[in-house]
Amino acid sequence: MTVALMWEARANPGQGEELLAWARRQKLSARPLRRETFRAPEDRVLVITWWDADLHTELPELPEPDGGLVTRAVHRWRFESAGLEVAEA
């Protein structure tokens, strides 16, 4: 089964690049199948990691950044794959 962990944080105004760099520097204690980092308006950063695991397996996650870097607590979600869909032409 594939599980995706999503980690999303919002930086203090003007600190989006700093939060993005911080998130990219974070090492996990195990290597995921895939890790991708996104940025969005309002200085938000999203990191998604994919794992070959069950939904309730304990997996390494990115920590909370220093409180001086973010406007609120990190949001975290955990999803299990519902299958791969191929777009029709």
pLDDT one-digit tens code per residue, 70-82: 999 999 999 999 9
Q: Across residues 58-76, what is the average pLDDT?
A: 94
Per-residue pLDDT at 67: 77
β-pairing, 34-40 vs 2-10, is unpaired
Q: H or E element: which one contains 80?
A: strand 75-80
Smallest CA-to-CA distance from 71 within 6, 18, 2 is with: 18
In whole numbers, what is the pLDDT of the chain averaged over residues?
A: 95
Per-residue pLDDT at 20: 98
